[in-house]
Structure 1
Amino acid sequence: MRNPGGFDFERWALQRGVAATGYVRESPDNRVLQAASGVDALRSKLSTALWAAMGGDGPLHRESRYLRALAVADTRGLDEQDWEVLRATGLSHLIAISGLHVGLVAGFAALLMRLLYRGLPGLGLRLPLPISAALAALVAAFGYAALAGFGLPTLRTVAMLAAVVLAVLSRRAQSTWQVFALALLVLLLLDPLGILGAGFWLSFAGVGWLLWCLPGRETHWLRWRSWLHVQWVASLALLPLTVWFFGQASLLGFAVNLLAVPWVTLVVVPLDLLATAALMVSLNSLAKPLLMLSAWAMNTPMQWLSDAPQWPLARLFLSEPDGLNLWLAMLAAAILLLPRGVPGKALAGFLLLPLLWPRSEVLPPEHVDVHVLDVGQGLAVVLRTAHHSLLYDTGPRFGTGLDMGEAAVVPALRALGIPRLDRLIVSHGDADHAGGMTAVLRAFPAPVSSSATRQLPAAQACQRGERWQWDGVDFEILHPPEHFPYLRNESSCVLQVRVGNTALLLPGDISSQIESRLLRDYGDALQSEVILVPHHGSASSSSANFLETVRPQLALVSAGYRNRFQHPRETVVTAWSESGAQVLNTAETGMLRVRLDRTGVSVPSTWRQETRRFWSAPLDE
């Protein structure tokens, strides 16, 4: 699925070497073909042990969710609310096992080696302490990185540590920049496609900026002024990339990280890792109190921050920036981080403005932009006039927990620069149209209209004859009439949008029976330059009389790629094409965009074509 602001699954799959996806249907005949083994099995076993030590399904079962994430990179226990808090406070990086965690393990291993040499001085005659400590640190770091799934930040730390160990073994001094460059080269050789992920750029950019801003400076991490400087460098330097990759900036991040990073690093993580080590050697009686203490240390401040997503100005959501704004922001960061005394340095802050307050396109009156989002087998259409926005349907929510309202619709609204919704129309109550409603309303509170008022108590009835005008654009509900029984698809709210003589028709999931009713009631008034093909292109809709009356230039289809319903049906696509319409399917094009005004319809644009990547392949083969 391809939408502005949304997760790019194709990029993710390419980076991880995923060639195909599938799922296993539940069946009593399912059986395990082979028991899991290796590091992944050990990680799963440790995660289960951490969960069990905290009481399993007992009252404390949720208390282990952060501990499992910090110890073995198992984030399955974190729900969407947890992630929202982490994003709002800028603490997401703390949950991902990073170089900081690996460095702690390496440092602890080196400390143990020093203690061993102090107890057994004769060991120094066989192998010097610096070499033993370096090797112990490297082995421990590699083992923990493997246990954590070899995430990119952990690999970066292991590579840099390996470069240091080589320098110790060869007795050749290496500068910090040489170590950094060697680690970068090694990771690119091991995983060239790693550059496609945000983690690569944030990880190496963060370290690079710190090296550039703190060259040769002895930093005392526990002194507040040094720590304040480090946090300022990290926050400002990574701001452009954070906005570029995630479309948001945490305004709380700087202040929260000042306290959270040392607390988690020096208190929570050591306790968690000690407890995990105790579980590995079956010292459960030692592990449990350590886990309880670690859980208290982590969960108490997180409870204080639980309402952070609702705090005013906690986060700044930004429309999708262009490349020029990114480069200007990076230049601004470089200038602002120059040493004191550089004249006019503060003026560089103005270069951040295009990124943080991008200019949004303002439509003139009597224009409407139509965005048919790519939400798979479902529907979500954004209509935007000069000063108003409307969302027609909210995308599906699947049984697996994937909510397209959260994953696609809300990010797209933010990336498109839409500050609010003036109205939400849910055509009917089926999950592929109403599934994302809760997520959408949580982010964009708006009055709701729907035919499914019993299923959606907060909604007002959507009824034929309702009309309103926004910025010279006319909106009219054509179906269902008052007192029409709720019949799911047949009760879909049918909306016609008109600018002068140019019209758009959104018929929801109506069948040919309701099409005939509309033809009887409205006749030639149904003629529209753009139509959303009824019911995703089902054979039960798009009757010949309906096609002949509507006569659109564009017939837009919202359907999932190779969906099990085989929507749109080939016969339906052929019928619309033969009626003179250009047929476009979101499954092949990504988000569709078209503009209507009094002069007619613009040439449609597709998000897949607008954001074409070198790995993109045509989907019409």
Structure 2
Amino acid sequence: MHAARTPLITPLIALALLAGVCACLSLPSVPPLAIALPVAAGGAVLAWRWPSRRWVGALLLGAGLAGLHAIHALVLQLPAHPERQDATLDVRIVDLPRVEPLRTVFEAEVERDPQERLEGRRLRLSWYARGNAAPPILRAGERWRFALRLRAPRGLRNPGAADGEMHAFADRLTALGYVADGERVGPSTGLQGWRDATSLRIERAVDGPSSRFVRALALGDTRGLTDDDWTRLRADGLTHLIAISGFHVGMVASVAALLVRALWWLLPALARRLPARIAMAMAGVGGALVYAAASGFSMPTVRTLLMIAVVALARGTRRSIGMPQALAMAAVPMLLIDPLCVLSAGFWLSFAGVAWLLWCMPLATSPVRDLLRAQGVATVGLLPLTVVLFGQASLAGPVANLVAVPWWSLVVAPLSVAGVALDAVHPVAGAAAWRLAARCFELAWPLFERLADSPLSLWYLPEASGVAVVLALLGAAWCLMPRGTPGRALGVLLWLPLLWPDRHAPADGDAEVTAIDVGQGLSVLVRTRTHSLLYDMGPAVPEGFDAGERAVVPVLHARGVRRLDRMMVSHADLDHIGGLDAVRREIRADALFAPDGAGVQDARPCLAGSSWSWDGVRFRVLHPPPYFPYLANEASCVLRIETRHGAVLLTGDIGEAIEARLVAMQSAALRVDAVFVPHHGSRHSSSQAFVRATGARLAIVSAGHSNRFRHPNRQVVERWQTAGARVIDTADAGAVTLRSGPGGIVASGRREARPRLWDAARRATADAGLSYRRD
């Protein structure tokens, strides 16, 4: 009898399940199948048979399920070798294709594979322009036969930057690739096809730039938003509103329930067949389901849909259910169905936001007071998570949200959604609703643009430790305690390790040199105790990848660099200078140096013989000498960094001719502890004499994984290793950090220093006894 009265799902059960999932996913490698399966089964049995300690079973169940899902997600991925695979597949486009200047990016599900390996798998593909021929227009829901070049999911690994491998793992992507050729074999159909067609109708109905925002609010289609739009939204703390959020789903459910209530009031006879409360609950769930489907079942919409379904079930069965219980009943199914959802920032922000409001908000008093209090609670409660998830905070967010929350959520979004509903009945009325939504949006957008450009915009913070995050969350809870709690204001002190963290700056006479993982290119951040230098800025390609934006700037923010004392461009090749504009937009630099004749705007000449000292660290330029003609690679700036515990040499892309010149004229200056291997390890660099002259113990190669130049050359690597150097490649190690100290210069790679479960993909699946091919 006691077991029957014990609720199967409670807030404690939800927290225990979440803790188990997080504990498993924080492991450096995937648990073997022989461990994950018994843990999950044992947890399920304990949770069912031991009501008084059900949370223990939930904890084990969460850990075991996360392990099983992790194993499955890694089994789905292509093997790392061979590095590229060709395949001809029949696929269906399953999301809204994103059109960029020189490519179209989309996800597709394999429907037919002649080799029967990839059927049912999900791919992320790019179709690049060739010459003057743009890719054909692709629509969601279409079926194509593609000739593809595929590779296993892989991304850059840098401090403070997005982890592409994590997202591929969480999304169960099998491979990344590009289209060599394609033939359309089926029209656009299904839910995604309807979303794509409706988005196109909104674009045609609404003139002007606000059309892209109406599409985002109506359908969750953010393809039209530019980089400037996202920058302003982040600066104003409004990204949670511009795409479909849980609030919008709740709004649609409420409207659907009210419409049914009005119908039952007009036609009382309907109550004889179905009670009004049950009809309203069913209508609310139905409206939420339809709108969540229209948005592509994004994380916030699914969470809200589950909560609405729980509340509707309680109302329909005349049972009272509190909001904490409803929140738990929404979280548990999500975690049971997809434990990897905890890798999404949206999971934490959506559930944490609701939890903070439930704990801190009193019963309704007045709309204005409740709005102000809710905004204050969300700002204080979610700030620690925002900092740790995005490395930034918006000081303008509370102000912008006071306007945007009521205006966008109660005016612009309802009109956008109404347009979708009306479009199915009367296209002219739908278009009118969309145009009205656009006009209402345009009334407030100039205010948000001014706020984004003000000093109140984004505040970037260095990468935080786990301890700092925990302390900040405890501080937020303390600050939000009820009135009369002693020392509430002192909770702010617990935020200090997060908001003003230790930058781990080197001591006087020492330096930190970080080879940023930029793919096939080079960018190196050098920090002394109070100064910073950036040597090269990585590649940028017309197809859309800009290492300055995606890798270099995040590393600068993560390292707490708000201003650069100097930037130095080794030479003007695109794989070294491509990210310069992105860095300039975000970070102020006091001076810029480049080889004379390189054509770098506002740059001073980089000349051999120039030197300076920062905090006891000496910097000396070894090449090019005055009057040296600009010869691209051979004109690269060569920089020696000398600390009290060792020296580092940055070489750019010099080849054997310049190496021989340096060996002949400055052999003493070449003697270092660590060297950046010239020209990414090209076979035309790293001559035997140069390698011997450096005497380096560490040789750092900055190259892209499986790059088309086959850098680093195998013979070059062997030459450095034979000379006694440890060769570290950013393609394998991620960002590589060199730190000088009493023990000399020590190197650490990002992947080794912070191992992730999905890094061990191939090893874990092999250990689990699983193969790539399906039997």
- TM-score tier by shorter-chain length is over 0.9
Query: Per the alignment, do residues 452 and 7 of structure 1 end up closer, same or farther by CA in structure 2, a change over 3 Å counting?
Result: farther
For 1:218, the equivalent position in structure 2 comes to 364
Q: Which amino acid in structure 1 is aligned with residue 445 of structure 2?
A: M
SS in 2 for 1:306: helix
> Structure 1 pair 162/617, CA: closer, same or farther in 2 (3 Å)?
same
Show the counterpart of 1:3.
158
Structure 2 partner of 1:196: 343
Partner of residue 372, structure 2: 228
Query: Post-superposition shift, 1:562?
Result: 1.5
Tell me the alpha carbon deviations over residues 340-360 of structure 1, each in whole angstroms, 9 at most, x when there is no partner.
111222222211122111122
Residue number in structure 1 paired with 2:195: 43
Write the letter of the residue equivalent to 1:321.
A
Take 1:313 and 1:490, find their aligned partners in 2: how far apart are those partners? Answer: 45
Specify the alignment match of 1:496 in structure 2.
Answer: 640
Between 188-197 and 518-527, the greater mean CA deviation after superposition:
518-527
Which of 507, 511, 535 pairs up with 2:651?
507
Partner of 1:167: 314
Cα distance, 1:454 vs structure 2: 5.3
User: Which protein has the bigger strand share?
Assistant: 2
Which residue is equivalent to 1:378? 521
User: 2: distance between equivalents of 1:480 and 1:279?
Assistant: 66
* Among candidates 343, 346, 362, match of residue 486 of structure 2: 343
**8 A contact 2:260–2:283 mirrored in 1:** yes
| 1:240-255 map, 5 Å | 240-255=384-399
* Alignment partner of 2:543 out of 397, 400, 413: 400
Match of 1:432 in 2: 575
Q: Distance in 2 between matches of 1:124 and 1:322?
A: 58
> Is 2:182 aligned against 1:30?
yes
Gaps of 5+ in 1: none
Report the CA distance between 1:502 and its aligned residue: 2.8
CA RMSD of the aligned region, Å? Answer: 2.0
Give me the TM-score of the superposition, normalised by structure 1. 0.94
Q: Which residue number in structure 2 is paired with residue 554 of structure 1?
A: 698
Distance change >3 Å, CA 147–CA 382, structure 1 → 2: same
AA aligned to 2:194 is L
Please report how far the alpha carbon of residue 153 of structure 1 lies from its aligned counterpart in structure 2 after TM superposition: 0.8
**Letter in structure 2 aligned against 1:461:** P
Task: Say if 1:509 and 1:535, in contact at 8 Å, map to a contact too.
Answer: yes
The structure 2 residue matched to 1:64, chosen from 186, 196, 211, is 211
Tell me the secondary structure at the aligned position of residue 506 of structure 2: coil
Moved more, 604-613 or 527-536: 604-613
Which amino acid counterpart does residue 347 of structure 1 have in structure 2? L
Task: Please give the per-residue CA displacement for 1:263-302, whole angstroms capped at 9, x wherever unaligned.
Answer: 1011110111112223334x34323332232222223422
Q: Which residue of 2 aligns with 1:208?
A: 355
1:478 to 608, 618, 622: 622
Change (3 A) 1:514 1:324: same
TM-score by length of 2: 0.76
8 Å Cα contact 1:594-1:601 kept in structure 2: no
User: Bigger shift: 492-501 or 432-441?
Assistant: 492-501
Report the CA distance shift for 1:5/1:452 in structure 2 as closer, same or farther (over 3 A): farther
Can you list the C-alpha shifts for 1:519-569, whole angstroms capped at 9, x where unaligned? 233233212211111111111211111111112110001111112221112
Equivalent position of 2:168 in the other structure: 13
Query: Could you tell me which residue of structure 2 aligns to residue 286 of structure 1?
Result: 429
Amino acid at match of 1:540: H
Structure 1 distance, partners of 2:596, 2:583, is 17
Q: CA offsets, 1:312-332, max 9 Å, x none?
A: 242321111111111111111
Partner of 2:241: 94
Once residues 309 and 510 of structure 1 are traced to their aligned partners in structure 2, the CA distance between those partners, rounded to angstroms, is 43
Distance 1:286 1:304, change over 3 A: same
Alpha-carbon separation, structure 1, partners of 2:423 and 2:625: 65
Q: What is the match of residue 411 of structure 2?
A: 267
CA contact (8 A) 1:49 1:279 kept: no
Q: Are the counterparts in 2 of residues 320 and 416 from structure 1 also a CA contact under 8 Å?
A: yes
8 Å contact kept, 1:243–1:318: yes
Quote how far apart the aligned CAs of 1:363 are.
2.4
- Please tell me the residue identity of whatever aligns with 1:358: P
Distance 1:232 1:45, change over 3 A: same
Instruction: Give per-residue Cα distances to partners, 1:182-228, cap 9 Å, x unaligned.
Output: 1011111121100111111111111111111236x2355xx211111
Distance 1:417 1:85 in 2: 22
- Going from structure 1 to structure 2, the CA distance change for 1:477 and 1:33 (only over 3 Å counts) comes to farther
Taking every aligned residue pair, what percent have the same amino acid on both sides?
A: 46
Q: CA deviation at 1:309?
A: 4.2
